[in-house]
Amino acid sequence: MSVEPRPTQSVIWRTSVTLLVVGAVALLLQLGIVIVHYGTDEDFLFRAMTDQESDAISDAVTVRKSGKLKVDLPPDVTERYRKYPHGYGFEIVDESGNVMAAANQDIFPPEITRRGVNPEYAMTCIDRDKGSLCVSTRRIEVEGKSYWVNVAITAQSAGIFSRIDPAGIVTGVFVRELIDDVGVPMVPILIALLLVNVLAVRRALRPLHTAAAAVQQLDPSNEKIQLQEAGLPREVKVLVHAINDMLARVDRAMMAQREFTANAAHELRTPLAVLMLRLGEIDGPAADRLRADVRAMARLVDQLLEMARADALTIEPNATVDLAAIGRDTVENLAILALDQGRELEFEDRGGDIVPGNENAVRFALRNLVENALRHSPMGRAVQVVAGPGAQIQVVDHGKGIPPGQREVIFRRFWRGDATTSGSIGLGLAIVKRVADAHGARIVIGETDGGGATILLIFGNRPEPDPGRAMASDRQVENDRAA
Amino acid sequence: MRLLLVEDNRSLADLIAGGLKRAGFAVDSFATAGEAEEALRAVTYDLLILDLGLPDRDGTQLLQNLRKQGINAPVIIVTARGSVDDRVAGLNIGADDYLVKPFEMDELIARCRAQLRRPGGRSSVALAAGNVSVDTVTGEVRINDEVIDIGRREYDILVLLLRQSGRVVPKARFEEALYGFGEEVTPNAIEAHVSRLRKRLAAAAATPSIHTIRGVGYLLKA
């Protein structure tokens, strides 16, 4: 049974969704409470409705030059008064009790005193045969003079509402009350919570990002790699500690493998010496061929050791490599090998630099490059080792060249492009790669003018630092930018 | 010339001893450091060939003890430990040469000879490669057993090349050896001499050839 992988979601997304759900539940709860509240308090909503009505009327009042009032109601309100002559009514009364403006005045019940009263606000409802009638009175001030706006609305009970007016404006009032009581306080709180959540999660996860960056910087082939545990939050520390445990195990495994390679190679040398000396006592072309095979095998043993050493390579802070000297030495040492193969080896110094690095390592990297070039060179042609200009050294051959598609894979361990090429097990270029990486050097493969491969080792980038230092120097860069 | 060989691998010890005997050396062969020390108390050897990985003790300890006891015979370390650091360490504790396994018998014999002629400070009398030989005392150059005449500079070049037969002799070495201090060397002088020597050798049907290793120096290949 295959399990569909769930799409990965960020922690921010997950916590935000949780918060939203909780917020929605809280909102619903509060809604419920508000609805129950309005449902049980009969007057509350109606009071709000008459308030709203008297507000609308007050806003519409202006004083004419003649001293009379003019009420300019919005068309829908005017329409409502026209349509429900027994549903809505209002009047505006001055201090002396004179009605200054009115609509559907008849619906005001005589038993409710409404003129000459002097409260700021009052509201009263009376029950009738069919539903009830509520009247509110409220003082307003227009151009320094007090007036009373009296509003009367008839109502019936319906649904959750104990009173509903004929045009149903109470539902609008209800919605507005909900927005005011629930939406206005809750929505900003929810938005603020979500924002705080994003920031808090980001902040909480920052040590994890830092740890991840440190893990990215790790090179498992280096010895003794551990992440910093000090100063990490407890939750992240657990993970980092587990990673460190795993790194230690990987380190032990790598070390065991390196030691095994080194020991095995080492132990092979004595039997090879026996073989070589025994062959020395035999003459003839078959013995010569065997001797060549033993030499190739001895070289393979060397390469295994070089690989094991390159894997454990460390670069002392003050160690340097003279590229010109090392180029010359390499040509000097391998010249006889080239001549034995019917090929030539040349050196040219175009001003090679002295670069930071491990001399032995660069030496065997260069040796492997030259051996590789010799193998792929046609008989009678020369392989050139060129130091410089600057922090680079190149090995130029006139063979078939390296097709662009193979330029990555040739550096893999035990990779062999041409299985028929003898004397190669495909470790040489892997050693070159490992040494280059440890030095922060680039390997560039190009074409030689007139055919063949040119492989450049370009130094000068800072050597691969340990993760702790990498972060420190990145911070330095940031500081520099800030400055 | 009596040589002491300390090597615990029986096959290898037999092969080395056999090869050295054929080359005219007398060889005593032992498998442990203890046996070797005992023999050294009884016999004065001209040269020691020492393996480092011995069953009873490390070869480096044996060497250090010998040097402390004032045994100054040249020591060639023959070992499977091939790193530059191992080499330097070996030479630092008093070895005179360091040969990494596997090696060819000729190489070991050449190194033994090189060590044996060293204390006198004199270079070997006879140098040879292929059918070319030089007597450095009389200054006689023979090709196919016939004495030939060559110029002084060509002779000096030939001697340098023969001494390092199969290895590159850097150009600077020729300049040092051929010209006195302050003497002006024209850029092509060495090249001209080498070219003349080459023609001379070819004319006399010499088997070794001189190869130019551009940018580095010259190499005599037997």
- Residues of chain B neighbouring A278 (CB-CB closer than 8 A): 11, 15
Instruction: Express as a percent the part of chain A with pLDDT over 70.
Output: 88
| Pairwise CA distance, residues B84 & B61, whole Å | 19
With contacts defined as CB-CB under 8 Å, which chain B residues touch A335? 168, 211, 213, 216, 219
Least confident of A168-182, B10-24, B101-115, B127-141: A168-182
- pLDDT score, position A76: 87
- What's the mean pLDDT when you consider all of chain A? 83
**Cα A320-A326-A327 angle, rounded to 5 deg:** 135
Of A401, A468, A463, residue with least CA distance to A435: A463
Strands ordered across the beta sheet of B132-135: B126-129, B132-135, B140-143, B146-148
- With a cut of 90, say whether residue A433 has pLDDT above it: yes
- Residue A472: predicted pLDDT: 35
- The length of chain B in residues reads 222
Q: Which range among A43-47, A255-259, A368-372, B187-191 shows the weakest confidence by mean pLDDT?
A: A43-47
Determine the pLDDT at residue A247: 85
pLDDT of residue A113: 58
**pLDDT value at B174 more than 60:** yes
Distance of alpha carbon A13 from its chain centroid, rounded? 12
pLDDT band at A9 (very low <50, low <70, confident <90, very high): confident
- Taking CB atoms and an 8 Å limit, are A346 and B80 in contact across chains? no
- Cβ atoms within 10 Å, residue A21: 10
Per the CB < 8 A criterion, the answer to whether A447 and A453 are in contact is yes
Cβ-defined contact of B11 to A339 (cutoff 8 Å):
no
Averaged pLDDT, A149-159:
83
User: What is the greatest pairwise CA distance in chain B?
Assistant: 59
Question: Which of the residue ranges A141-155, A350-364, A405-419 would you say has the lowest mean pLDDT?
Answer: A405-419
Q: Which amino acid is at A173?
A: V
* pLDDT over 60 at A422, yes or no: no
Which stretches does DSSP call E strand in A79-144?
A: 88-94, 99-103, 121-127, 132-142
Average pLDDT over residues A75-101: 87
Predicted local confidence at residue A470, as pLDDT: 35
Q: Which of A332, A374, A393 to mutate to test the interface with B (most CBs of B within 10 A)?
A: A332
- E strand intervals along A391-452: 392-396, 442-447
pLDDT at A103 over 50: yes
Q: Among A178-182, A224-228, A299-303, B201-205, where is mean pLDDT lowest?
A: A224-228
Task: Say which range, A106-115, A326-335, B103-112, has the weakest mean pLDDT.
Answer: A106-115
**pLDDT value for A425:** 67
Spell out where A365-452 has E strands: 382-387, 392-396, 442-447
Nearest to B30 by CA among B50, B47, B58, B1: B50
Prediction pTM value? 0.61
**Which pLDDT does position A483 carry in this prediction?**
37
> How high is the pLDDT of residue A183?
82
Q: Is B216 on the interface with A (CB under 8 A)?
A: yes
The pLDDT of residue A64 is 83
Q: DSSP class of residue B136?
A: T
Q: Are B4 and B66 in contact (CB under 8 A)?
A: no
Q: What is the pLDDT of residues A250-265, one digit of tens each?
A: 888 888 887 887 788 8
Asked if the peptide bond before residue A119 counts as cis, ω within 30 degrees of 0, the response is no
Residue B120 scores a pLDDT above 50: no
pLDDT band at B201 (very low <50, low <70, confident <90, very high): very high
Helices and strands (DSSP H and E) totals, chain A? 11, 15
B131 touches chain A (CB under 8 A): no
Q: Which of A313-327, A465-479, B154-168 has the lowest mean pLDDT?
A: A465-479
pLDDT of B96 over the 70 cut: yes
The confidence score (pLDDT) of residue A473 equals 36
Lowest-pLDDT choice from A110-119, A240-249, B54-63, B130-139: A110-119
B16–A277 C-beta distance less than 8 A = yes
CB neighbour burial string for A83-118, b if at least 16 within 10 angstroms, e if fewer: ebeebbbbbbbbeeeeebbebbeebbeeebebeeee
Cβ <8 Å between A302 and B9: no
Instruction: State the amino acid at position B134 in one-letter form.
Output: V
Q: Which residue has the higher pLDDT, A291 or A116?
A: A291
Query: How sure is the predictor about A424, in pLDDT bands with cuts at 50, 70 and 90?
Result: low
Distance CA A302, CA B81 (A): 10
pLDDT bracket for residue A115 (50, 70, 90)? low
A 10 A CB-CB count for B100 gives 18
**How does DSSP classify residue A178?**
H
State the smallest CA–CA distance between residue B54 and chain A in angstroms.
12
Query: Mean pLDDT of all residues in chain B?
Result: 88
A112 against A411, higher pLDDT: A411
pLDDT class of A33 with cuts at 50, 70, 90:
confident
pLDDT reported for residue A382: 93
DSSP label at residue A317: T
Q: Chain B residues with CB inside 8 Å of A274's CB?
A: 9, 11-12, 15, 102
Higher pLDDT, A1 or B132: B132
Q: Which of B16, B54, B103, B216 to mutate to test the interface with A (most CBs of A within 10 A)?
A: B216
Residue A277 CA to residue B106 CA, distance in Å, equals 10
Please give the pLDDT value at position A325: 95
- Give the separation between CA A433 and CA A76, rounded to whole angstroms: 84
pLDDT reported for residue B110: 87
| pLDDT recorded at residue A352 | 92
pLDDT for the residue numbered B123 = 47
* Mean predicted confidence (pLDDT) in A440-466: 82
Please work out, in degrees rounded to the nearest 5, the angle formed at the alpha carbon of residue A242 by the alpha carbons of A241 and A247: 95
Q: Which of A24-28, A59-63, A458-462 has the lowest mean pLDDT?
A: A458-462
Task: Say what the pLDDT of residue A157 is.
Answer: 74
* DSSP single-letter state for residue B123: P
ipTM, 2 decimals? 0.78
With beta carbons under 8 A apart, name residues in chain A contacting B214: 344, 346-348, 382
Task: Say if B34 is an interface residue toward chain A (CB within 8 Å).
Answer: no
| Ordered strands of the A344-349 beta sheet | A344-349, A382-387, A392-396, A453-458, A442-447
| Predicted pLDDT at A467 | 40
Select the residue of B9, B18, B217 nearest A270 (Cβ to Cβ): B9
Residue B105 forms contact with A (CB below 8 Å): yes
Tell if the CB–CB gap between A328 and B12 is shorter than 8 Å: no
* Residue B91 pLDDT > 80: yes
Nearest residue in chain B measured CA to CA from A301: B102
Instruction: Determine the distance in angstroms separating the CA of A333 from the nearest CA of chain B, rounded to an integer.
Output: 7
Using a CB-CB cut-off of 8 Å, the residues of chain A touching B105 are: 277, 280
- Predicted pLDDT of residue A477: 36
In the block, residue with structure tokens 């390092």: B164
Q: What are phi and psi of A195, to 5 degrees?
A: -65, -45
Mean pLDDT of B3-13: 94
Mean of pLDDT values over A197-215? 86
DSSP one-letter code for A410: G
Average pLDDT over residues A21-31: 89
B213 touches chain A (CB under 8 A): yes
- Give the pLDDT score at A383: 95
Name every residue in A having a CB less than 8 A away from some CB of B: 266-267, 269-270, 272-278, 280-281, 291, 294, 298, 302, 305, 309, 328, 331-333, 335-336, 339, 344-349, 360, 382, 385
Q: Are B82 and A305 in contact (CB under 8 A)?
A: yes
Say yes or no to pLDDT of A303 above 60: yes
Cβ of A269 within 8 Å of Cβ of B18? The answer is no
Question: Rounded CA gap, B19 and A282, in Å?
Answer: 12
Per-residue confidence (pLDDT) for residue A355, from 0 to 100: 94
Q: Which of A333, A339, A349 is closest, CB to CB, to B215?
A: A349
Task: Tell me how far apart the alpha carbons of residues A269 and B179 are, in angstroms, rounded to a whole number.
Answer: 44
Nearest CA in chain B to A299: B102
Q: In whole angstroms, how far apart are CA A206 and each of A200, A210, A214, A235, A236?
A: 10, 6, 12, 12, 10
Minimal Cβ distance to B101: which of A272, A345, A385: A272
pLDDT over threshold 50, residue A465: no
**For A332, which residue in chain B has the nearest alpha carbon?**
B168
Residue A278 has pLDDT above 80, yes or no: yes
Q: What is the predicted pLDDT for the residue at B105?
A: 92
Please determine, for residue A469, whether its predicted confidence score (pLDDT) is greater than 50: no
What is the Cα–Cα distance from B169 to B187, expressed in whole angstroms?
A: 17
Closest CA to B154 of B200, B187, B206: B200
DSSP E strands in A325-417: the ranges are 344-349, 354-356, 382-387, 392-396
Confirm if A57 and A71 have CB atoms less than 8 A apart.
yes
Res. B113: pLDDT tops 90 = no
Average pLDDT over residues A62-79: 85
Contact of B41 with chain A, judged by CB distance below 8 Å, is answered with no
Q: What is the mean pLDDT of residues B42-50?
A: 93
Residue A369 has pLDDT above 90, yes or no: yes
> How does residue A2 score in pLDDT terms, banded at 50, 70 and 90?
low
Residues written for chain A: 483
User: Cβ–Cβ of A336/B168 closer than 8 Å?
Assistant: yes
**Disruptive mutation site among B10, B169, B213, B218 for chain A (greatest number of A CBs within 10 Å):** B213
- pLDDT, residue A176, reads 84
Q: Which residues pair with B77 in a beta bridge?
A: B50, B98
- The two tokens of residue B41 are 């108390």
In chain B, residues with a C-beta closer than 8 Å to the C-beta of A331 are 168, 213, 215-216
CB B3 within 8 A of CB B45: yes
